[in-house]
Structures are given as C-alpha cells and as structure tokens.
Structure 1
Amino acid sequence: MFKLVAIDIDGTLIDDDFKVSKRTVDKIRALRDRGVNVTLATGRTYRSAKQYTDILNIDDPIICYNGALVKDNSNGNIIYDARLPLDISKKIIGFGEKEKLDIKVYTDDTLYVEDDDERTREICKNHKIDYKVIGKLSENIEKGAQMIILIEDEERIREIRKKIDSMDIKNVSYTMSTPRSLEFGAPGVNKGNALKVLADKYGIESKEILAIGNSLNDLGMFKYAGTGIAMKNSDRILLEEWDKVSEYDNNEEGVFHILDKYFD
C-alpha cells in the first residue's frame, strides 16, 4: 500500500488548458480521506503550485523549483530550502546572456527578468507568478537563485547543454522540464532528494511512494519512489531513461487512471 503519492503539475496533473478534471480531484480527495499523503512536485513557484492544492483541498507540503524548496502547505513553514550562491547564479546568468538565451531567475516566489515582454506576461498570468523587471540580470540580481532557467529552441538547447557540461561550474545541478529549457539549482537539487526529505519527515519508506510525472525533472523522484509512472505524453528525453509509462496522457485524465489502478 502506498502511503505517499507525488504528482507533477504541468503535463501531468493538469491538462493543456491548465485544468484538473473532476474525477482526478475527487480521487485525490478520497485518498487524503484514507490517510494517504499527496504532494505536488513541480518546477513552479510555491504560490503558483498552491492554486492547485487549493483546488484539490489538500494541505500536504509542496515540492517547488524542481526540489530546491519544500514548503509546508498547512502553515507556510519552510522544510527545505537550497539556493545557488550569488556568484554561481551570476556565472550561469552571464553565460546565458553571452549566448543570447531567454533567462528566467526565480527566488522567493518572484520571477526576475531583464525585459517586460508579452511571453513573460502570459506565463505569469497563466501560472500566477509575480515578476520584476530589473534590467541586465547578471549585474542587478542581488541574491542567490532557487532556480535559473535558460530557454531556447530544442536543437540549440542540445548545443547549450554540451557547452554547460564542458564548463567548470561547481556547486550547481541542472535538469529539464521541457526539451527547450535547462533549469539550474543548487547541488543535489532534484525532486527525488526533496521527496526523501518528506519521506523522512513522515517516516515513510521509498517503496511506499508512488510518483507520477512527464519530464526529465521527474526522473529523480521516479528513481527514489517505489513506483514511478511516466505519462503517455512524456518528453522523449524522459522516455529514453524510463519505461514504465501510462497508456493515458494529461488530456485523458492520466493521473486519475493511474491512481485508480493502484488504489482500489
């Protein structure tokens, strides 16, 4: 019997219109009534993720920024918080500026950007994110980031990934939530390590955990959990690493079907 379920948000819990189906909501609420802990594990900010715990009516801790932050959803207390040092943050940002990439810096529920553009406004509206325009990021960022994202087209990101791997950047880890982005965090930051923090808090063994996701940034929690299930719509880079895949995608109530299979 699983005692903890970890669910990614984008491309997993929600459909392409940012909605959670009624059957999924009802199923998750029923699990909570049975004493099963349900945590959302996401690359989003805490505030952005909390809108979905409100819909689900659950108050379990939320894993944010790909595991850099674990925050108690019942009282707002921070359980775990890992940040990139300021100098390393500036080094990554400076590299992104030199390569002319789209750069997004997240710290304390705020997105920092260089310019105010339509795409930033759209993302912040859809994800309910506060943002600040501060000009050149490498010069004006004042504290270490919880997450830095470099964004470009898929082919260019593959090239950038090779460059990053060849660089001597210590005290950093990175993952991908889409084939178009590289997402940087402090050393050891991933959803799997954050899930272990929660498992230790609850006294739960890894074999008692079910994890559901659709991107490479979910691989860490798949490896840590007793059972990890990738959505049918999962990114190719995840499916190259993981072969336990649902027959349903996020527009077909995939999470509901997975939970219905494992919880009678």
Structure 2
Amino acid sequence: MTLKLIASDLDATFLRDDKTINEPLFREVLQKMKAQNMQFIVATGNHLQKVLEYFKNFEGEYQIIANNGAEVMLDGEVQNVKFLPKEALKTIFSVTEKYLDDVAVGLAFNGQSTTYMLKSQAAIGDTFKISSEYFENLTLVDSIDDVVEPILKSTIVLSHNEVAYMNDLKSILGKIVHVTTSGYGAIDIVDSDVNKANALKYIADALHVEAKDIMAFGDGLNDMEMLEYVGHPVAMTNSDPELLKHDFAVSVADNQNDGVLKTILENV
C-alpha cells in the first residue's frame, strides 16, 4: 500500500471520549509517517483554535481541515476559506425558532475570530456554559443583524427531530448551503461547496497527492464525502450504523482504544 496522506476526524474517531490523545503513541505514529514522507491531517467540524488546543504539543507536525472544511490550515497558513451566504443566516435562525423545544445546545454562528450567539439561544438550558467552554470569543447579540463578520459555519445540537430540522433547512435554502450531522444531535450548516472531501482535495492538490494515496478515518455522516473520496477509507468500529453499511475498511479498535493510531501502525 502506498500512502502519502492520512486524514482523521476528531470526535469519536481520533479523540477518546474525554477529548484526550494518546500522545506517546501519536508521537510514534508521526515519526514513522515522517520517515516515509507521509503527512497527517486533522479533518474536523471543530473550530481552528480548538484543534490547535488539542494538538498544542505537536505544533507544525500536521495539517488542519476545520469547521467541516470551511477553512484549511496548510503549513501554518489559513487558506481556502468558505463563508456562509449572509442571506442564509436569518433563515437558519427562523427555522431554529420552530424547534426550540428540541434544542439541547443553542444555535451558534462561527466566524474566524468570534462566535456569535443570540441571547435567546444562549438562555436555553446549559447552552451558555457549554458554549463558553467550547468556543473562542463567544459574543452574545440581540439579533442576527448584530453579527458583523463573515460566518464560516452555524452549529446547533438538538435532542430530537434532527432529520426534520435538516430537511426544513434544505427545502428552504436549497443548494446555497450544505447541512450535515456528526451524530449525537449535532448539526452543522456551511456553504454549499464545503465538506471535508473538498478541503482534503485542496490540500492533496497543493501537495501533488492523488486520492488513491490517501487514507482517511471517520465515524459520522459528515465524514462520508471524505471517505468516498480517498483510496483507503476506514470507518471506526464505533461509527454511525449508516456509515458501516458502506464498503469501507473498519478500524482495528474504537476511539476509546486508539483505533486510528493502531490501524495506521498496521499500515505504515
């Protein structure tokens, strides 16, 4: 097997459930990959600062696809940034208002430097506490009109009716947005051209790598395009059942037991 790039989702894939990494084993993997001129890519729905925080001890040793592909960090430089159409923001909020009884974590609008949240959404359950711990520079606003910078991604967590919510957005906004889920009720809304596969192709093209020489790991439906794009797709043993219906290889262990790293070691 010839591999030049290995990409991995984070939550429920590379990260353990407590959001930690087996750093000694990752170091071993990176050293073996470097010896074979291979590069590692984080491909996640997380925002860029969160990724840098998780991998603070590995600065400069990996590439990043953040916000489900809305931005790329290649060799330390943010590139290929894709923003949501401005006109979509009010529609996203108005659809969300119909599902208030189902909201577990309120709607957030992620910019490059600030995450915006309407005060009405922040007041739902533990939204403000959870979001303050997760997002950089969380700013509460009174209305969508107060969102003053371009938005990479809108994100929300629902306790029920995720499919209905997603279908409502798709029926109103059509092809101007891409609506996807990472599972567990988490839903991301991004520009129509944004997904992990397109972002990974951007990196691959920049590095002159063909899809057949890329391995990728994922567990959720927001990983589907990426897994279908690469030559060596691997679904986690703990994947969404829908993902496991496809003809993907399966990791040697789940995310709790370093399945990504152990699978890589069997192949490099």
TM-score clears 0.5: yes
Amino acid at match of 2:110: Y
How do 1:238-253 residues align onto structure 2 when only pairs under 5 Å count?
A: 238-241=243-246, 243-253=248-258
Contact 1:47 1:109 in 2 (8 A): no
Amino acid at match of 1:148: S
* Alpha-carbon distance in structure 2 between the residues aligned to 1:227 and 1:152: 32
Is 1:34 equivalent to 2:42 in the alignment?
Answer: no
* Alpha-carbon distance in structure 2 between the residues aligned to 1:122 and 1:29: 36
Cα displacement (A) at 1:71? 1.7
Say which structure is richer in strand.
2
Gaps in structure 2 of 5+ consecutive residues: none
Contact 1:24 1:256 in 2 (8 A): yes
Cα displacement (A) at 1:187? 1.3
Amino acid at match of 1:14: L
Aligned partner (choices 42, 45, 53) of residue 43 of structure 1: 45
Cα displacement (A) at 1:229? 0.5
Aligned to 1:105: 109
Task: Indicate the larger mover: 175-184 or 50-59.
Answer: 50-59
Aligned to 2:152: 146
* Alpha-carbon distance in structure 2 between the residues aligned to 1:5 and 1:140: 40
The Cα offsets for residues 216-263 of structure 1, whole Å up to 9 and x where unpaired, read as: 111111111111111111123433445422241111110111101111
Equivalent position SS for 1:184: strand
* Alpha-carbon distance in structure 1 between the residues aligned to 2:156 and 2:18: 24
The Cα offsets for residues 116-174 of structure 1, whole Å up to 9 and x where unpaired, read as: 5644433543x4633111133x3422343211113211x41122123233334341111
* Alpha-carbon distance in structure 2 between the residues aligned to 1:55 and 1:219: 29
Contact 2:43 2:64 in 1 (8 A): yes
Aligned partner (choices 236, 252, 256) of residue 261 of structure 2: 256
**Identical residues among aligned pairs (%):** 25
Alignment length, in residue pairs?
258
* Alpha-carbon distance in structure 1 between the residues aligned to 2:128 and 2:192: 27
Gaps in structure 1 of 5+ consecutive residues: none
Aligned to 1:218: 223
Aligned to 1:171: 176
Contact 2:46 2:66 in 1 (8 A): yes
Aligned to 1:10: 11
Aligned to 1:134: 141
Contact 1:12 1:250 in 2 (8 A): yes
Residues 49, 241 of structure 1: alpha-carbon distance in 2 compared, 3 angstrom cutoff? same
Residues 47, 33 of structure 1: alpha-carbon distance in 2 compared, 3 angstrom cutoff? farther
